[in-house]
Amino acid sequence: MRKVLGIVACLVSFPAMAQPASTEHPTIQSYAATQNISYGEAQSRLARLNDIVAVEKALNDKFPNQFGGLYVVHSPSFKVVVKMTGGGQGLLKQITSDPLFVVEKAETPINQLNQLKDKVARKVAAVDSFQFSAEVNVFDGTVDIRSQDNARMQSLLTDDLQQNKNIRLIQVETVSSNTATIYGGRQLTGTQTCTSGFNVKHNGVDAIITSGHCDDTMTLSGVSFNLVERVYKYSDQWGFDMQVMRTSGTHSYPNQTYTAPSTLMTVTGVADILNYPIDWPICVYGSVTNTRRCGKIKAKFLVLKDNRGVTNAVHRAASDDGKAFNQGGDSGGPVVVTNTAVGLIKAKGAAVADLYFVDFGALNGVLGSFASPVSIKTAP
């Protein structure tokens, strides 16, 4: 049996939901931390948004042939740079005398840059399968065109565009890649069906965790995931039936998992099964069963030899209503206590109402059974 390590710390962090909710807005908190300023200063800065927007609109409406755009500077001091052609300072004073706004010279009005951008986009968009992006760079007063082939891009432009000094071609490895939001509790499909459990960090990289007996390559939300590390092996003390999977591309991995067909749960903590007594309530969600099922822990660290011949120490729960807890395809789905991640669905039990699940061996939130650092995401 495992030694009871870290129980005090886990018990202290477990009742997080009972703590008073912070009145500080997370966006303001993040900005304050990023800029290394107080929450009050961050709040004061962000409260200037309406003023900045109003000045931008007024300048664009009144001086369309002189206004070159504006942008915010956050460090070392907070200010708004207004780009103007000609006598910019005098023009700005017709709109505002607020010292927050400072003038810098612009070579080309932003309206002209936007027209140039649209002209390029209309020309190049007609070419099938040629990927590009076109944007106005307010900082430099240019239209930046990104593609994987500058020579090809140049050839697609008309002579006047090729000679335009405001156009800047930038060659990149990848222009864009459509992204997906990856949640736990979603169906994984391969030669078999499984369920994603939780979003994790694996060696600092976003990934998902599911059952170790699932396929090496599976599709989730239209995205192909591949095995990067697996623990599925004999043990009469640990529940080694987990694997971490990753995908290429840029996707978002919120600390959320489905616990019902259209209900997302925000994961705020991770706890060791040792923190919970027998008959403590838990809930699970499998993508095939497609509904939240709840029950109570009935046995911990029972030794189970599964239908693939692998022996694990797992835990058993029974549904409250005596109905089936889960079914084939739910493997890997999340096991939770309120908003705390506890483990993954392993298998159906001998009785209809029974569920077997594996725990994380979670000490200080890090999954102890993997060779590389793996942690459940409990923050965005």
244-268, pLDDT tens digit by residue?
Answer: 999 988 899 999 999 888 889 999 9
Q: Is residue 82 part of a domain?
A: yes
Task: Give the domain CATH number at 362.
Answer: 2.40.10.10
- Output the 3-class SS for 216-275: CEEEECCEEEEEEEEEECCCCCCCCEEEEEECCCCCECCCEEEEECCEEEECCEECCHHH
Residue 50: how many CB atoms within 10 A of its CB?
Answer: 8
Of 105, 135, 153, the one marking the end of a domain is: 105
Domain boundary among 171, 189, 219: 171
Angle, helices 39-46 vs 26-35, to 10°: value is 110
Residues 217 and 284 in one domain: yes
Residue 27 is predicted with a pLDDT of 82
Q: Which of 27-36, 201-210, 233-242 has the highest mean pLDDT?
A: 201-210
pLDDT (tens digit per residue) in 50-77 = 999 999 999 999 999 999 999 999 999 9
| Domain-located, residue 341 | yes
Check residue 248 and give its pLDDT. Answer: 87
Judge if 131 and 266 occupy the same domain: no
Q: Are residues 234 and 334 in the same domain?
A: yes
Question: Residue 148 has which token pair?
Answer: 């994987």
Same domain, 82 and 133: no
Residues 222 and 271 in one domain: yes
Residue 366: pLDDT band by 50, 70, 90 thresholds?
low
In a domain, 63, yes or no: yes
What one-character-per-residue DSSP string does 9-60 give?
HHHHHTTGGGSPPP-S-HHHHHHHHHHT--HHHHHHHHTTHHHHHHHHHHHH
Model confidence band, residue 179 (pLDDT cutoffs 50, 70, 90):
confident
Looking at the structure, tell me whether residues 186 and 165 fall in a common domain.
no
Question: Are 235 and 306 contained in the same domain?
Answer: yes
d(CA 199, CA 270): 12
Q: Is 225 found in the same domain as 137?
A: no
Within a domain: residue 131?
yes
Residue 198 and residue 62 in one domain = no
Of 105, 129, 145, which one is at a domain's C-terminal end?
105
Q: Is the pLDDT of residue 31 over 80?
A: yes
Average pLDDT in the chain: 86
Question: Given a cut of 80, is residue 177 above it in pLDDT?
Answer: no
Q: What is the pLDDT of residue 5?
A: 28
Q: Do 146 and 71 reside in the same domain of the chain? A: no
Weakest-pLDDT range from 17-26, 113-122, 141-150, 216-225? 17-26
- Could you give the angle at the alpha carbon of 268 between the alpha carbons of 242 and 256, nearest 5°? 65
Question: What is the distance between the alpha carbons of residues 86 and 110, in angstroms, rounded to a whole number?
Answer: 14
**Residues 207-234: what's their mean pLDDT?**
93
Q: Which domain holds residue 126?
A: 110-171
Single-letter amino acid, residue 338: T
Count of domains in the chain?
Answer: 3
Determine what percent of the chain is predicted with pLDDT higher than 70: 92
What Cα–Cα distance (Å) separates residue 33 from each residue in 16, 110, 194?
Answer: 22, 33, 39
